[in-house]
């Protein structure tokens, strides 16, 4: 029987709020069994970039990563944000180790092909090194992954953190029974965006398609849900979306996704 693994991705608004981040990391540190954390840091990268005179470039809400922006992402994701999270987890007696996709050849990617838009140094994941990550977990380390991948030829890429979390969950499912948690400021997938308590408790594939047709799943939730079902269709046991209470209380109000 496979051991269990919890993969938790924390959202950008949590990272921006020091008090909330500390609370979420404390809860994460108490999650039993093998676990790993994934984080982004886009807002912080924009803030630091502005201070350096490097303006964030966006198209249709998606970040374009030119050479200067990649340098900022490496500094902020792999340095400032990642090491702050690792240090806080260590303070909660969680033996965290900071990781990018290049470390231990953990997550390999290729440059996103140019279609209508050239996103620059943005990587699409092609392989997860489950064996090396398993070795860290079995040695009682808790990997903390930032939103950086590499091509194995010396090039780093900016990669969406939600996608990294999903691809890690898929890759690690060869070794573990994996549950993926998307932890952000909302309580879950909401039937009405205006009503914080309109959480949809359970969504299966049929209901997912219905919610898409009804326009209830829309805007920023669309790519997140796509990642969720990509993971579920590739042997991830289940995916949960909600705020940090789901990490400590399985009967709290959040959304569970299954096939």
Residues belonging to the binding site are: 41-42, 63, 158
User: How far lies 190's CA from each of 28, 132, 232, in Å?
Assistant: 24, 37, 20
Q: How far apart are CA 188 and CA 239, in angstroms?
A: 11
Q: DSSP assignment of 57-118, as one string? A: EEETTEEEB-HHHHHHHHHIIIIIIHHHHHHHHHHTT--EEEE-TTGGG-EEEEEPPPSSS-
**Distance between alpha carbon 162 and the CA centroid of its chain, in Å?**
4
Q: Classify residue 92 as exposed, middle or buried by CB count within 10 Å of its CB (0-12, 13-18, 19+).
A: middle
Give the single-character DSSP code of 155. Answer: -
- Binding positions for substrate are 41-42, 63, 158
In the block, which residue shows the tokens 């309109």? Answer: 198
Which parts of the chain fold into alpha helices (H)?
12-16, 18-29, 42-51, 67-75, 82-91, 130-138, 161-172, 205-214, 221-232
Q: How far apart are CA 75 and CA 48, in angstroms?
A: 9
Q: How far apart are CA 169 and CA 175, in angstroms?
A: 10
Whether 96 contacts 31, CB under 8 Å: no
């Amino acid at each position: 029987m496979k051991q269990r693994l919890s993969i938790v991705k924390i959202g950008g608004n949590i990272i921006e709020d020091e008090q909330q981040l500390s609370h979420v990391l404390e809860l994460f540190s108490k999650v039993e069994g093998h676990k790993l954390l994934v984080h982004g840091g886009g807002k912080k990268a924009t803030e630091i970039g502005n201070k350096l005179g490097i303006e964030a470039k966006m198209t249709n809400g998606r970040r374009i990563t030119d050479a200067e922006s990649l340098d900022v992402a490496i500094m902020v994701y792999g340095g400032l944000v990642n090491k702050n999270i690792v240090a806080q987890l260590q303070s909660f007696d969680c033996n965290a180790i900071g990781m990018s996709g290049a470390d231990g050849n953990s997550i390999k990617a290729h440059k996103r092909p140019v279609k209508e838009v050239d996103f620059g140094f943005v990587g699409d994941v092609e392989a997860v090194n489950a064996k090396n990550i398993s070795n860290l977990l079995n040695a009682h380390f808790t990997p903390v992954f930032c939103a950086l991948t590499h091509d194995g030829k010396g090039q780093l890429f900016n990669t969406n953190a939600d996608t990294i979390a999903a691809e890690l969950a898929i890759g690690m499912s060869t070794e573990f029974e994996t549950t993926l948690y998307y932890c952000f400021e909302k309580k879950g997938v909401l039937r009405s965006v205006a009503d914080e308590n309109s959480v949809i408790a359970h969504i299966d594939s049929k209901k997912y398609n219905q919610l898409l047709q009804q326009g209830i799943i829309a805007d920023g939730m669309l790519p997140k849900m796509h990642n969720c079902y990509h993971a579920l269709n590739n042997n991830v046991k289940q995916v949960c979306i909600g705020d940090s209470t789901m990490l400590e209380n399985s009967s709290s109000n959040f959304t569970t996704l299954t096939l």
